[in-house]
Amino acid sequence: MADIKLKKLKTKRYKCLDCGNSFKGIGRRVICPSCQSENVEELN
C-alpha cells in the first residue's frame, strides 16, 4: 500500500520569519512557498 509511506512523512507547520506566512512543510530544508525564504521556524 503506497499510502502508508506517505502518511509516515509527517507534515510540520512552519512560519516564515521574513513574510510571516505560515505553511506546512516536509523534510529538513523547508522553504517558504510565498517568498522562497529559508528563514523559517517550526511551530509546535
Contact residues for Zn ion, defined by CB under 5 A: 16, 18-19, 21, 32, 34-35, 37
Residue showing cell 511551530: 43
d(CA 16, CA 36): 9
d(CA 25, CA 10): 9
Taking the least distance from each CB to Zn ion, the nearer of 11 and 20 is 20
First to last CA, the chain: 29
Taking the least distance from each CB to Zn ion, the nearer of 11 and 39 is 39
Q: Cβ 30 to Zn ion, closest distance in Å?
A: 11
Q: Cβ 32 to Zn ion, closest distance in Å?
A: 3
